[in-house]
Each structure stands twice: as structure tokens, then as C-alpha cells.
A and B are shown apart, each in its own frame.
Chain A
């Protein structure tokens, strides 16, 4: 795929000319009347019907409005999206206790460091790659995926000179560098390098906030609470007037595109992007999503968001990087067992359902899921039935294409702890990011991850 906008000084005319050309390339892939992917619950025709007309218009003439051309660009992205690879980044917020999720049952110091928190000998599920370790009882779904060869585990992932601040360490992970001054996310930089100038859902946070890992310098990205919930209604406004009102939203945003005031311009950009996102998501309103598999039922939005994500992918929407936060509170300074079990169970079960959903829809080879947390927790428990901030923690890669092999060993609780009693890292997150760029996205990691050359790359795919 050509790099649609790797440069700033791309003139608007040139942009539109290229967009039209790309829309043309995209058309054969998305002819009206294509069969429905199994179980999507959405008519592909219905989605396409809203946009192919516009794409054809882009292709057609010289007297077109810029709004029509914008739609053409989105359509061009949709055309090429059906076989492009997608990364889903899932954040365990708070610093997940890797020493409980994959607990070192066979480590001689485990029960002395964790006299109250240690899990019973026979609890949980075996971890065949390392007989010392067992999966937490709430991680049965992960154990199952691991058994199927679809889960690669990093038992002690981190970086040298670990920072124990949530915000600093999380920031490092989000920006892909141990540098507090970087303002773009690692996925945002990937989008800036390879994305398109008018497709905000190429980087999509399924969250009510933008995930910082998606923050770009130039190209638009988006967040939305969930794909089945993006409508705009007003009181006593209906029919044609309502349709006009929605068009106006886009015009209101564009009216501020060239103002010198940064806050107004930013607000205008968000309004424009929201308007476009509303159009793209319109096909998903009103419970239109029918998943081919059952997701866990929960008050938490996580399973619903994953179900919606699978439907978006099935409909061929142009997503590249998706980020969301897992359920649960992982900053377990006190009363750890209950808090950890609840979040871990819902997260694991939802991930299993998502994987099965993708498999049923024939999408599984296109999706890689990356699970991370800002750090692990201290080897020794504290006096509040909890654990304090540690260093290395757990990381996971999930998908049908992953190697399914442990990366880096579990360093053990004797020589594997640093001077402060925290796990030493046996793999570096920046090496994993570089491997994702090179092996999954087949792009140059050097342009995305600072000093990429200095980190060892694990083999992450089969």
C-alpha cells in the first residue's frame, strides 16, 4: 500500500487526486451484492449502499464538493481494509500482578514472600512451557488459548531502570520509549507513517477517551464508546431538517480549519471527525450487531466493545490499530485477591470470546491482540493483603498467527529479583513493539521506535 500521506506539504489538490485514484483501485474489492460474512447481522450491502454511490461520484467528475471527496477517501480506505492486518492493544490499568496471574507455584521462595496471597499448590491450571508456573484460577480462558498455541506469554517483560510511577511507566509503554517528553504514541507514529489523511478510524480507541498510544502528530484518529452507540439526536428535529443538521456538523468543524487559535482549530477538527465517524458508524445503530458466539454478560463495557469490534472488522471498516482498557483494577495495594480475580476473569473470558468470534467470521488471521500493563508488582506482599508497585510484569500476544511460545524466561524469585525485590525483565517491551512493526505490519521499526536497532526482536509469529 502506498504511504498516503507521509508528508506535511501535500497540497490539497494532490491529495484529492490521489484519493480518487485509490478509490478506483478499491472498487473491485467491494462490489455491491457480495455475500454476507457469516453471522455479522449486518447487511454488507446496507453498509456499502451508503458509500459506494459516493465513491463512484469521487471517481466521476470535477464539480464535486470537498465533502464528497472526503467520503471518497474514507471509501478508499474501506476498499483496501478487507485484508489488512489489525493490532488490538489491551491495557491492564494499574500494574497487574504477574506473580499471581502466572504464579510461580514451584519457586521455593513464592510462599515465603507471599504468605497470605500465595495460591494453593493445585490451584489454577498447568503452564506446560515452564513447570514452575501455573495460571491463576481466573485465567482458565488464557490457559485454553495457550494450549491451542494461540497465546505467546512474556512472563517478565519490562525495561532497564524501571520507573515505579504509574504515569511515567505507562507513558513509556504508550510512547514506546523511556522518554517523558515524547508526545506521540507508538501506534500513533505508525499511523502517521502509513495511514491516510482522512480516516479517523484507522486508529480507534474503544473507550470514552482517546488512548494515548494512538496519539498521532498529523493524521486523525478516533475514539468511540462502542460501535453500537454513536448517534446524534436533538429534540424536536426530524426528517430532512435532521439530515441537514448532521451535514452542518461537518461544516461547523470545517469553518475553523484555518483559524490561528489552536483550541478553536482543535475543537473544529474534533467536530469534523465526529461527523465523519457518525456517518461510518450509522450502520451499527440499534442493536444491529449479532455475534456468532456468546460473550460474557457484564455491566462492564469490555465484552460489548470487543463484540462490536469484531462486527466492525467483519463489515470491512478501515481499522488498523485499536486500543482499549481491560476491565478490573490492577493497582492492588490492598485486598488483592478479590479485585484481581474479578478483573482477570472477565478480561480472559472476553478475550476468548473475541478470538472465537473472529474465528467464526473468518477474520482471525488478520488480528493480533497485545495485552500489557505498566509494570508488575513487588515480589513480597505488603501488610494490607496487597502488593506494591514492582518492575517487570506480564505481557501477552494473542491470535491464530502468533508463535505461541514463551518469550524470555521467568527469572525466579531468588536471583530474579532486583535490589528492591522486584522482578527483573527478561524481555524488553520496545523489542516486542519493534517485532510487531516488522513481523506483523511489515514496516520499518526504525521509523517508529526510537533506537529500535538496540533491542532484541523475539520471533512473535509462526
Chain B
């Protein structure tokens, strides 16, 4: 059965949703330009992009000093945020973010090396739309992952089950799907042999495979017997009958909030198996699926939201505060909360909403209108039009428009009778409208 393809209108609204789901939102005019390509070419321009190009000034801290992603705390976050803002390959960055969530490794626990985290990031980007099989093998022996899930402490005489368990539970099969505690133990044995050296002040280094630490006895995994090693561990998971359904469902969930229908799910699984674990064909099918364009909205992840604000404003990364602010909104890159990654369906609550408010406020700070020097018209509709133009006219629901217009009108009424207020309030209102638009439920979702 063929995978359904969206055949409806592909206008600016559809292009804009695609740019949010498969990237970090449009730059001014970008949605319109993408819509002109038509659905198929628009999707292919994302999944098969031109050579990488970063457009605009390089990232700096607040004193205009170039960032130091290998050394300064939080500058790794700035480094990646900058690529999301300036890059011309949004889907590659978005997929790298998907894999960071999928194979979540945190610099907070154990790894403590921005260099190793950035090396892992390069690995995830290298395989962003490539082969899941190769990705899984490379992640398994990736130094940051070896530290994070104790792969470098897993030896023949003292097996450590940490990676083995998550390999099945979180990476390839899903919790309680087709394996048991005995498979965990036997996978741990198969995965033995990775090692590193440690020096105080330097940390872990010299990651290598040491055959004498590998348990070369017979293991029994998923009912199969053999003298399995770490590559067999990965292969057995991929060949497991429940792997394709897990991967398809999870990958889909990053782009579309509703679950795929039965025939779509089956067809995607078939595509995945027949392509020998290739990611690009799956993503191309998901990005063309009617559910993406016709289905409900999704809450934007905090870094996607942030990068989108900066892209819409034409502002680059010129402040180190994004790291702290993004943390308060619930997402610091390279610091997922645990090995299961972020809770992608629970981005918003009263605390993270305040984090988003502060992200928007920080984005707007350098361009805030000064009531001492600037002027603005004392007309609610005009003020709203101007504030919307600042954000390149994002579409708003009528309820949002009404609430914003009521705010502007009431505040203009407050000013009546005071010459100073009549002059300054319109400026304050325009600043407030920019802020309120940015935090509206309309802009929190796409």
C-alpha cells in the first residue's frame, strides 16, 4: 500500500508549518518562497539541501567576544543555536536535535567534556538523514555515550547493564517490548570490551576496544545463540521484529502529534526495512503526509521557539544569556534531563511558560522602542498592525487579535487627559504588543 501524500493547497500557511516542523521557522519571506516551489520540491529542498552555508555574523557573547564552545559553560548551546539561526540546512539541524533527544547524552552527569559532547553532535549530524544502523553503531562506541551509560566500565568480569538496557528500552525497541531481564544481562555481556583511560584533571581519554575485556562466551539474546559482540548487539536489535514499529512511531512523533493510521504505519515500516534502515526516505514520506498539513498543531520545543524568534527578527546569537534562559524554558542543549531525553509532549507548564516569556523579552530587548525618543500612533489597530509587521505577520487566531486590540484600546483610554501619557503610552503599548504576540498560544505552537 502506498503512503498517503498531501495533495491539497500548498500555500504560505502550509510552507510555514513545514518550516516549523522540519526546521526553526521561516526567515522573513521564506515561507512565500518555499510555497512557490510546490510541496514536493519544497520537501526535497529540505531533505536534500545544498552545501552548508552560515549566513550572517558569527556568534559572540554579550561583550562581542567570539564564543568558546569547547571551553565556556553554555557556549556549546550558543554554538548550536547559532547554526539553527544562521544555517541553510534547517532539517539537518532539526534531525540532529531529534537524535540528541533520542540518544540523549547529558554533559551534566559523568561526561563533563564539551569537546566530547560536540564530537557526538558532529556524529549525529553526519548521520542525520542517513542509515540508522550506522548511526546506532557509531553511537554505541561514541566516547560521550560510553561514559554516559557506563559502556567503558562494562567488562567480562564485571558487566554493567546500563547501556544494554537503554539500547533496547529507549533506542530500538521500547519499554517492555520483546525482551526481558535475561536479554538485558546477555546484551551487557555482548557489549563488553570498550575501555578508556582516566587521568585526574584530564578526564576520560583513549577510548578503545580491548578484546581481553570482552566476554567471548556464548550468549542467548532474543532466543538466538552465539558468541555475540557489540556489533551483533546492535544488529540483533535492528533485526528484532518489533524494531521497525518502534522507530517509525517515534520518528513520526517528532513531526506530527497524532499517531499514524494503521496502513501508514505499516507502509512506513515496510519502507524502512526495504531501504535497509535508511532515515531519509521515511522523513520524506512523513513531511509529505496529509496528517502534517491537515492535523492539529504542535507545541514548539524551546530551542526551536528561540531560534525562530531570532530568525524572524534577523538577529544573530550575540548574547550568552540564551543558555540560562533556555534552561528556564525547559531545554538546555547538551543537557537533556536524563537518558530518555526531553518530555516532548510536556513542554509547556506554568514554569516553562515564564521561561518562554523571558526568552521573548530578551530577544526584544535591544530593539525596544524608547518612549523618550520614539513615537507611535494612538490607534489600536495600527499599533497591532505595526507589532505584527515586526514579526513578519504571523497568522493569529481571531480571539488572540481581539484580546490584543482590547489591550491596546484600554491602554489608550487610560492615557486620555494626560499629555505626557498620550504621547508615551502608544510606544509602551507597541512594545507590549510585540511581547504579547511572541508569547501568544498561536506562536507557541505551529
Q: Report which A residues bind B (CB closer than 8 A).
A: 164-168, 180, 200, 205, 207-210, 222-225, 230, 232-242, 244-245, 247-249, 251-256, 259, 261-264, 266-268, 270-271, 273-274, 277, 329, 331, 333-334, 382-384, 388-389, 420
Contact = CB atoms under 8 A, between A and B. Distances in A.
Given A166-B338, A222-B349, A235-B435, 9 more contacts: A208-B351, A224-B351, A225-B351, A244-B414, A259-B397, A263-B299, A264-B445, A333-B150, A388-B162
Contacts of A166: 338-339
A168 B179 CA distance: 14
Contacts of A241: 411, 414, 425, 428-429, 432
Interface stretch (B80-88, B237-245, B357-365): B357-365
Contact of A273 (B169, B339, B350, B369): B350
9 contacts: A200-B350, A225-B351, A242-B432, A245-B432, A248-B407, A264-B441, A274-B354, A333-B162, A382-B160
A241 B339 CA distance: 44
Interface stretch (B122-130, B151-159, B228-236): B151-159
A235 to B, nearest CB: 4
B303 interface: no
Instruction: Give 6 nearest A-B pairs by CB, closest first.
Output: A255-B399, A383-B158, A267-B441, A235-B368, A251-B403, A248-B407
A234 B361 contact: yes
Contacts of B442: 264
A187 to B, nearest CB: 15
Given A223-B351, A270-B348, A382-B158, A244 B407 contact: yes
A183 to B, nearest CB: 11
Interface of B: 109-110, 150, 153, 155, 157-158, 160-162, 165, 169, 175-176, 181, 184, 257, 296-299, 327-328, 330, 337-340, 343, 346, 348-355, 357, 361, 364-365, 368-371, 397, 399-400, 402-404, 406-407, 410-411, 414, 421, 425, 427-429, 431-432, 435-436, 439-442, 444-445
B432 A167 contact: no
A237 B407 contact: no
Contact of B402 (A164, A245, A255, A384): A255
A208 to B, nearest CB: 5
Interface of chain B, main secondary structure: helix
Contacts of A249: 436, 439
Contacts of B364: 234-235
Contacts of A248: 403-404, 406-407, 432, 436
A90 to B, nearest CB: 17
A225 B328 contact: yes
Given A248-B403, A252-B403, A274 B440 contact: no
A239 B297 CA distance: 35
B400 A252 contact: yes
B350 A252 contact: no
Contacts of B339: 166
Given A252-B440, A271-B353, A237 B428 contact: yes
B350 A274 contact: yes
A384 B175 CA distance: 26
Given A165-B169, A333-B160, A234 B435 contact: yes
A277 to B, nearest CB: 5
A255 B162 contact: no
A261 B297 contact: yes
B339 to A, nearest CB: 8
B357 to A, nearest CB: 5
Nearest to B327: A208
B407 A245 contact: yes
A461 B411 CA distance: 55
Contacts of B427: 236
B297 to A, nearest CB: 4
A413 to B, nearest CB: 19
Contacts of B429: 241
Nearest to B157: A383
A256 B176 contact: no
A242 B352 CA distance: 21
